[in-house]
Amino acid sequence: MKGVTIILDHLGEREAAARVVDGRLDDLLIEDVAPGIGTIYRALADRPMKGQGGMMLRGPDGSLFLRQIKGLSPGQPLLVQVTGRAEAGKAVPVTTKLLFKSRYAIVTPDAPGLNISRSIRDDDLRDALMAVAHSEMEGDMEGDMGLILRSACAGASEEDIAEDIRAMADLARSVLADLAGAPELLAAGDGPHVLAWRDWTEEAEVVTEAGGFAARGVDAMIADARGPYVPLGAGHMYIEPTRALVAVDVNTGSDTSPAAGLKANIAAARDLPRQLRLRGLGGQIVIDAAPMAKKDRHTWESTLRAAFRADLVETSLVGWTPLGHYELHRKRDRVPLAEVP
């Protein structure tokens, strides 16, 4: 099955979206019971956590954590947006830098300016998009509201782009005008089906009929992703989350050739971003690579860096530990597959 297929369905009782590329499950979005990324609250500053460099906030659904102390006093109202998924027993991380994001446009309060995705290089198209942006944002440009036009604009009509800009700008104005009052949910984060429409913008077959996961074999692919074992062709790896970190163990299998370690490690590096996406894993990632010569580390790191560069989830490549492990730090913004019945 060649090409890209996007299937919108449910996993149990939860809304879910799957992206299948050339017959292989490439991405999986699952509805979270926790506040979704992008959710906007009116919250009240509660108490500073100086040891952690932040402030606890009171939200309508519980505690929030903001990495900011300066300029805040207890009881002060502020608008915040969820930036990640909280670990069990911890407050939900938020920011005061709000983003109103859709398929074509991102409206940025307190960050003025009009910007177009660098991936759009056609000068005539950039000029046309800038004209649309100026037309729709003319009144807001005098204030502190900015706009980013996303790469999906390259294949869209000016009418659709203009409509998207208006929707996000109207939402931004409505939220920003609602600062006074008790803690309240002002805008819910997007669910999996909307996120799929928003972020999976390449040409694709879209399946919306109920039972699409079973009909297209996605259920079986998800079942495979629930286990720790990942075959690589050149060796295999195990991906096992613990409370503290996610351990990735790369092995050469039956290959005993001198280049076996490098081959297995490169195969693991290329597939690791996809495997972490499917499993919804983030936080500290520790890779126990298969044995390879130190001179091959640069080649492997270049492969790993290229693989994560194409991934939508923010990931920092930290480097080697004294014991010879490689560490990553990945944003927690997915539901761990292990938590989904």
Is residue 143 domain-resident? yes
**Cβ 252 vs Cβ 236: under 8 Å:** no
Beta partners for residue 316, in sequence order: 329
Please give the pLDDT value at position 238: 98
Q: Is the pLDDT of residue 89 over 90?
A: no
For the chain, give the mean pLDDT.
93
Q: Give the pLDDT band (50/70/90) at residue 71.
A: confident
Residues 208 and 245 in one domain: no
Please give the pLDDT value at position 139: 65
How many residues in the chain? 341
**pLDDT over 70, % of the chain:** 98
Is residue 109 domain-resident? yes
Is residue 195 domain-resident? no
Cβ neighbours of residue 197 closer than 8 Å, sequence gap 6 or more: 103
Residues 121 and 170 in one domain: yes
Q: Is the pLDDT of residue 176 over 80?
A: yes
Residues 232 and 334 in one domain: yes
Residues 88 and 139 in one domain: no
Least confident of 15-24, 43-52, 278-287: 43-52
List the CATH number of the domain containing 163.
3.30.230.10
Q: Give the pLDDT band (50/70/90) at residue 325.
A: very high
Separation in Å, CA 65 to CA 49, 84, 205? 9, 11, 40
Using CB atoms within 10 A of its CB, is residue 49 exposed (0-12), middle (13-18) or buried (19+)?
Answer: middle
Gap between the Cα atoms of 47 and 140, Å rounded: 34
Gap between the Cα atoms of 336 and 14, Å rounded: 13
Beta partners for residue 55, in sequence order: 48, 66
List the CATH number of the domain containing 313.
3.40.630
Domain count, the chain: 4
Is residue 170 domain-resident? yes
Please give the pLDDT value at position 60: 94
Cβ neighbours of residue 32 closer than 8 Å, sequence gap 6 or more: 85, 335
Q: Is the pLDDT of residue 17 over 90?
A: yes
Please give the pLDDT value at position 90: 84
Residues 260 and 174 in one domain: no
Q: Give the pLDDT band (50/70/90) at residue 143.
A: low
**pLDDT over 90, % of the chain:** 82
Please give the pLDDT value at position 140: 59
Q: Give the pLDDT band (50/70/90) at residue 141.
A: low
Q: Are strands 105-109 and 205-207 parallel, antiparallel or unpaired?
A: unpaired
**Cβ 241 vs Cβ 336: under 8 Å:** yes
Mean pLDDT of all residues in 135-163: 87
259-273 residue pLDDT tens: 999 999 999 999 999
156-174 residue pLDDT tens: 999 999 999 999 999 999 9
Mean pLDDT of all residues in 174-195: 95
Mean pLDDT of all residues in 217-236: 95
State the amino acid at position 210 in one-letter form: A
Residues 145 and 185 in one domain: yes
* Residue 151: domain span: 100-190
Q: Under DSSP, is residue 269 helix (H, G, I), strand (E, B) or coil?
A: helix
Gap between the Cα atoms of 284 and 16, Å rounded: 25
